[in-house]
Structure 1
Amino acid sequence: MGHLITLATCSLNQWALDFQGNYERILQSILIAKERGATLRVGPELEIPGYGCLDHFLEGDTVLHSWEVLAKLLASKDTAGILCDIGMPVAHKNVIYNCRVIVHDGKILLIRPKMWMANDGNYRELRYFTPWSKHRQTEDHYLPRIIQAVTKQTKVPFGDAVISTMDTCLGVELCEELFTPASPHILMGLDGVEIFTNSSGSHHELRKLHRRVDLIKEATLKLGGVYLYANQQGCDGDRLYYDGCALIALNGRIIAQGTQFSLNDVEVISATIDIEDVRAHRAQSSRSHQAAQAERYPRIEAPFTLSAGKFDEVEDMRGLVGKQESVRYHIPEEEIALGPACWLWDYLRRSRTQGYFVPLSGGIDSCATAVIVFSMCQLVAEAAARGDPQVIEDARRIVGESSDSTYLPTDPREFCGRLFHTCYMGTENSSAETRRRAKQLAESIGSYHVDLNMDTVVTAVRSLFAAITGHTPRFRAHGGSNAENLALQNIQARLRMVLAYLFAQLLPWARGRNGGLLVLGSANVDESLRGYLTKYDCSSADINPIGGISKTDLKRFIAYAQTKFDLPILANFLNAVPTAELEPISETYVQADEADMGMTYDELSVFGRLRKVEKCGPYSTFTKLVHEWGSFLSPVQIAEKVKLFFFEHARNRHKMTTLTPSYHAESYSPDDNRFDLRPFLYPSRFPWQFRKIDEVAQALPDRSLPGATGRAGIDKDKTE
């Protein structure tokens, strides 16, 4: 004999301040949940206004419009007969809280404010919201008149309480609260809560999903219970991509999982569970002893049931009951193919532009950017083939076929040719090989490609300077100084940015179409960290899908994409030496990125993680690397590498203040004023720190083996 309950949670592609669209998606998710027989529906964090409102949360309008949307939901007959957990900001006694509003049949049962805030990395919740600090306490919240008119309630409980129905008990845990050491679900579970809801705004980061899933499984493995995890999905108007993957867990097992990357605006997952399974799991002596001593939560009595009845009274309960699923994880290469592609699609359709433009250099970074756009076209083609009406409507509008009801973007290369524009901007320093690679890649993915030489433009700027100053700058290869050499490289790089925006604005016009294109950047996270880019060059763009991805991961992605997308040309990019091609090529010299930087891309990833993730300064970075690299580098060699990195990072830090907004994918991203809050004027030679490093390096024994090589390698030390 059992009590069966069908539960639903969802991933919604909400958009900051899109109250109408957000309302429609919430309502659609409730209708889908009801069609599946669910009696409880959980939505993502702050789903009414959108999670990414940032400082708009401080505006009274955002709170007002959230109440207006909630009033509309409460008044709708479509929301009757189901318990809904809905997210919005609420001002209680003139204090703004991040809340869940629990509603049923046109009534508000409880407003539960968030108690532990996400306030590091990408998140600044304490800037907008105040945490509820009165644990296991409630107060009366007096409702606005627009809600009173619908619910006929004057006040409702506000605070840390649980909902007690006639057959079970459920409690709310909000996003960050799951990640805290003393999570609320522990005490709630000991006090008899059997169903936990978690509404989240959790962003994608490479290799992150494992942690989220492990925490959700662990939440109910020892404790017992049902855990429903809902998440925001999509770009929400910012650098982050919220990656969905709604989950339902039962007693430490995942029994339902949504997609992590999808073009669907609404995705609902559901499961039928037997609540008696929770009670059986909890029937152990030690748990019972702790539960008998647990502090009591205020209980909101709800006079209805979530269960359908006794097991033998239920007809046609397909897919019974609580069957375990194998959790689906994407490998990092797939995450790169899917996450930035979904983010680009959201940005494109919501910005109301007609496509993307990227300067193709023939190198792996711009190649990766182009392949991600092609992956986006693949996802659109697959969705169109399934008959997704929203994707088809958006695709027709973007490519100017709104009036053609027969056009379907089911061929990714054909669709790519309509919205993706690439350009090779060559100079006398460019090689025939990179030009050929760029053209072949464009042909392989179907982009509209332009090939040009910009020597006349470069010469015009150089001649202008000579006419004004009487001095003609020369490359180092022609006898010029370092200053002349660097300036001549930067002329080329910055003119590429100017030309990129010219072509992005006018190429649709030249093709007889309307609108403009968004320019994509293609600087990877390691180059940004090191400052190995020209400020306001073609790394300056509208958005950058690879700005948070390491060079190492990009190479692995290209190797994966070669097979996944049937693009044999990508092998040529993998085997090419990374080069900016901004200096003259001679028989004895070809510009190479790693030689220019004085360190390898693999080394940059190590430095980035130590600096950001492990919070190391120059000296602690050195002491850690003595242990990691000591078998193939001497302490003095390690010291030189550490000093070089921190010197270059510090003197180029100002460049990070102007980085193109990038898809966040890496835990050591240098994205300024958002994820990485640091000054941009440093004592770049760190005299105190570097002196201490040198003293210790000289005193330590050299344990490197003769002739040994390792990941760090030895590169040309170029600091100026």
Structure 2
Amino acid sequence: MGHLVTVATCNLNQWALDFEGNRDRIIQSIRIAKERGASFRTGPELEITGYGCLDHFLEADTYMHSWEMYSQIITHPDCQDILLDIGMPIIHKSVRYNCRVISYNRKIFLIRPKLWLANDGNYREMRYFTPWYRQKHVEDHILPVMIQEVLDGKQRSVTFGDAKLDGLETSFGFETCEELFTPNSPHIGLALDGVEFFTNSSGSHHELRKLDTRMRLIVEATKKCGGVYLYANQRGCDGDRLYYDGCALIVVNGDVVAQGAQFGLDDVEVVTATVDLDSVRSYRSAPSFGMQSTAVEKSYPSVEFSSASGALSGRSLEFDMTVIPTKARPLRYHTPEEEIALGPACWLWDYLRRCRAGGFFIPLSGGIDSCATSVIVHSMCRLVAEAAKNGNEQVIADARRLAGKAVEENPEWVPTDPKEFANMIFHTCYMGTENSSNETRARAKALANDIGSYHVDMNIDTVVTAVRKLFETVTGKSPQYKVHGGSQPENLALQNIQARLRMVLAYLFALLLPWVRSRPTGGLLVLGSANVDEALRGYLTKYDCSSADINPIGGISKTDLKAFIAYARDAFDMPVLNDFLTATPTAELEPITKTYVQSDEADMGFTYDELSVFGRLRKVEKFGPYSAFIKLYHEWTPRLTPAEIAVKVKRFFYFYAINRHKMTVLTPSYHAEQYSPDDNRFDLRPFLILPSFPWASKKIDEVVKSFEAKNQSLQQDKQD
């Protein structure tokens, strides 16, 4: 006979320090779980505070407010008669921990602190919390007075530590995010100790092509040990560079039975499934499981739990034909192009609605980077329109605030047309100079028309000339472009005048365009459009139009951006995007002559594909110049000679070093790539580096000389 239990997990769009908003979304998720018949609900990591509080986790207020919100949740009428697993930070014996709090009907059964903390890449958890190193150890935790009072004085303390929760019919064990990724994950020991339900409450961010790794680990957790695994995650921008990409999951014995969306504009998404515990017990009937289970030397401390009905299922022992286990289903994955279309778009929407700005502004250059940024905004408008058609009240309310005048004229207005909505909130501008071409101007205008943005077309030559004249008046010198016989400093300075003036003008227009349009909805957020490869190489002017409020493509490679534009051309029915794909990337900051057209890749000395390779070698594989050269020697020969590879390696590390200072002021960017050079958070390397890397360069030269001498000897042998 099947032993059926309905359980729930969720994706929540929490916001750091939005205590009341976070509380309400937690309560809503519990309400939905109960409506679907669930007797247990788990949620994301640190869901009461939001995961991304960073140094706010060092403030006592954060812990006090967390308990205040928790007291309101645990006593709420909609949060009774269901076993709850809620994430929050807790101070125990003057030490800060990242915890799960397990409760039922105004009684707290267990506080389970995180054992292994995420402390690399984007994460610095050991800056805020201490790991609970004492595995399988528990002790008493005295509850705050405010909690004792709301529990009517019936509970003074609670078990704190690494334990399992045992009920009348089953057993629960708890993991938190990073613990799943460790070599000896807690669920292994818990399974051998009889635990049948595992939870993983996570704050896992989106990176291109990363989801597969996470999903495989979750599936494997029960494919090997058996059991029911519930994965919960935050989904959305909680106030920083990361986008948490949901995908709440329920897995039974290695089979996926429920999966939430990876991207979306719903603030609350609850995933439920009805599971058969007898299938778990049958799955574990292998002799090897039994032998390893009996070989465990020390069991987990057990905290006993029983609900008012006596069993989580809440059902009688009579067979009920109307209740059936949820069937298995295949995992859903997005292509990288779809991830770019959806992740940054959702991130932009969260940022826009929460910062209370009136919309976005971007200088359109006619090139593929600003094009990609604009198409991501277009994708955002499409998602808003789709959510509005589906009746998402929060999206409709946020869109109406942004629409301003349109709502005044039509109080029932709903954002169902992406182009109409884009015209209200998205502003684009082409800032041409004498170095600009008619082709880029035409492409910018055509793109703005297809997206529906409010577009401005202007020339800024008079402003550029005024700055040049000022310099000439003060110094008596007149700098010239390289093609006109000028030196490299002259050429660079003249390019930078244009680039930096575009930034100044962008902020001017972003502040005043809503006023020009009689739209009192606040200033516009200026969007940057420098890709991750240009930042890595330093191929951008400090404080030019790459300096902005936020940058949705700052963590995406040029190669992926081109693939995304090709996808969007077809998926969004925008043939104009083909012109951007076939155009040569150029900054258009130098004069065009019959024999010279500025090219990004020629200026940098690398193709964009090569820059991506260097980025991964430097950050992901942690290679210095010499190790990178040896790796590329094996991968790039015979296409390139060792000498040519050496030139590229030295050139990359030289420009990476001399431009490292630019990363200190890099526009906050959507994090989507493992080799992001953003030193404010992800890439903690110094910004003053000896650019020649002299010792590594000498070792590279020795390898090149050795190869050339060997090759010369072989040639001589052939001649003889």
Equivalents in 1 of 2:396, 2:288: separation in Å?
Answer: 56
Query: Following superposition of structure 1 onto structure 2, how do residues 37-116 of structure 1 map, counting pairs within 5 Å?
Result: 37-116=37-116
| Structure 1 residue 315: Cα displacement | 5.6
Query: Structure 2 matches for 1:12-31, cutoff 5 A?
Result: 12-31=12-31
The partner residue of 2:703 within 696, 702, 719 is: 696
CA contact (8 A) 1:250 1:322 kept: no
Question: Residue 681 of structure 2 aligns with which residue?
Answer: 674
The answer as to 2:330 corresponding to 1:323 is no
Match of 2:124 in 1: 124
More deviation, 466-475/588-597 = 466-475
Give CA deviations for 1:430-452 in whole Å, capped at 9, x if unaligned.
00000000000000110000000
* 2:303 counterpart letter in structure 1: I
- Aligned with 1:449 (options 449, 455, 470): 455
Select which of 471, 475, 482 maps to 2:477: 471
Which of these residues, 684, 691, 698, is aligned with residue 684 of structure 1? 691
Alignment-derived partner of residue 716 in structure 2: none
> Separation in 1 of the partners of 2:316 and 2:135?
36
Q: How far off its partner does 1:253 sit? A: 0.9
CA contact (8 A) 1:162 1:169 kept: yes
Unaligned runs of 5+ in 1: 705-720
Residues 505-540 of structure 1 deviation map (CA, whole Å, 9 limit, x = unaligned):
000000111111000000000000000000000000
Structure 2 residue aligned with 1:249: 251
Quick one: which amino acid aligns to residue 671 of structure 1? Answer: D
**1-structure distance, mates of 2:10, 2:312:** 18
Matches within 5 A, 1:176-195: 176-195=178-197
Of stretches 547-556 and 670-679 in structure 1, the one that deviates more from structure 2 is: 670-679
Q: Which residue of 2 aligns with 1:296?
A: 299
State the Cα distance separating 1:480 from its structure 2 match. Answer: 1.2
Q: What does the per-residue CA deviation read over 1:318-352, in whole Å, with 9 as the maximum and x for residues that have no partner? A: xx314111111000000000000000000000000
Aligned to 2:714: none
Report SS of the residue matched to 1:458.
helix
Note if contact 1:188-1:297 (Cα within 8 Å) is conserved in structure 2.
yes
Match among 553, 567, 588 for residue 546 of structure 1: 553
Post-superposition Cα deviations, 1:451-476, rounded to whole Å, max 9, x if no partner, equal 00000000000000011111111111
Per-residue CA shift, 1:594-652, capped at 9, x if unaligned? 00000100000000000000000000000000111012111111111100000010011
Query: What's the secondary structure of 1:406's corresponding residue?
Result: coil
Which structure 2 residues correspond to residues 331-346 of structure 1 after superposition, within 5 A? Answer: 331-346=335-350
2:692 aligns to what SS in structure 1?
coil
**Corresponding letter in the other structure for 1:217:** V
* TM-score normalised by L of structure 2: 0.97
1:163 aligns with 2:157: no
1:312 is displaced (CA, Å) by 4.4
| Partner amino acid, structure 2, of 1:501 | Y
Q: Which of 383, 386, 395 is matched with 1:391 structurally?
A: 395
SS at match of 1:313: coil
> Which AA in structure 1 matches 2:399?
A
SS in 1 for 2:618: helix
Which SS does the other structure have where 1:222 is aligned? helix
Residue 410 in structure 1 maps to residue 410 in structure 2: no
- Secondary structure at 1:421's aligned position in 2? strand
- Secondary structure of the 2:440 match is helix
1:375 has 2:416 as partner? no
Equivalent-residue separation in structure 1 for 2:367 and 2:124 (angstroms): 37
**Cα displacement string for residues 557-615 of structure 1 (whole angstroms, at most 9, x for unaligned residues):** 00000011110000000000000000000000000000000010000000000000000
Q: Which residue is equivalent to 1:715?
A: none
Matched, 1:136 2:136: yes
CA contact (8 A) 1:4 1:310 kept: no
Q: What's the secondary structure of 2:374's corresponding residue?
A: helix
**How far apart are the structure 1 equivalents of 2:624 and 2:89?**
39
**Whole-angstrom CA distance in 2 between matches of 1:312 and 1:374:** 55
Equivalent residue in structure 1 for 2:355, among 336, 351, 354: 351
The reply to whether residue 614 of structure 1 matches residue 621 of structure 2 is: yes
Query: How far apart in 2 are the matches of 1:389 and 1:322?
Result: 29
**CA 1:161 to 1:449, structure 2 compared with 1: closer, same or farther past 3 Å?**
same
Letter in 2 for 1:643: K
Measured in 1, the distance between the counterparts of 2:317 and 2:503 equals: 67
- Equivalence for 1:421: 427
Decide which moves more: 295-304 or 434-443: 295-304
Aligned mates of 2:199, 2:488 — CA distance in 1: 61
Q: Which runs of 5+ in 2 are unaligned?
A: 712-720
Q: How does 1:442-591 map to 2 (within 5 A)?
A: 442-514=448-520, 515-591=522-598
1:492 shift after superposition: 0.2
Counterparts of 1:405 and 1:196, CA distance in 2: 48
Partner Cα separation in structure 2 for residue 622 and residue 312 of structure 1 = 70
1:658 to 661, 665, 682: 665
Task: Tell me which moved more, 303-312 or 338-347.
Answer: 303-312
Give the structure 2 partner of residue 709 of structure 1: none
SS at match of 2:6: strand
Q: Aligned in 2, Cα 1:102/1:162: closer, same or farther, shift over 3 Å?
A: same
Contact 1:543–1:660 under 8 Å retained in 2: yes
SS of 1:157 mapped into structure 2: strand
- Structure 1 equivalent of residue 32 of structure 2: 32
CA spacing shift, 1:310–1:623, aligned 2, 3 Å: farther
Secondary structure of 2:97's partner? strand
Contact residue 3 and residue 308 of structure 1 kept, 8 A: no
Paired with 1:300 and 1:315, the residues of 2 have a C-alpha distance of 33
Classify 1:503/1:702 alpha carbon distance in 2 versus 1 (closer, same or farther; 3 Å): farther
Secondary structure (helix, strand or coil) at the match of 2:225 reads coil
Deviation at 1:22, TM superposition (A): 0.3
Taking the aligned partners of 1:18 and 1:92, their CA distance within structure 2 comes to 23
Letter of the 2:652 counterpart: F
CA distance in 2, matches of 1:38, 1:45: 20
Instruction: Select which of 253, 270, 273 maps to 1:271.
Output: 273
TM-score (normalizing by structure 1) = 0.97
Q: Which amino acid aligns with 1:303?
A: S
Counterpart selection for 1:238 from 237, 240, 257: 240
The farther-off stretch of 267-276 and 286-295 is 286-295
Separation (CA, whole Å) in 2 of partners of 1:227 and 1:72? 28
Offset, 1:276: 0.5
Q: Report the AA paired with residue 496 of structure 1.
A: R
2:252 & 2:328 partners in 1: Cα distance?
A: 8
AA in 2 matched with 1:69: M
In 1, the alpha carbon distance for the partners of 2:648 and 2:603 equals 14
Percent identical residues? 68
Letter in 2 for 1:16: A
Q: CA deviation at 1:73?
A: 0.9
Residue 216 of structure 2 aligns with which residue? 214
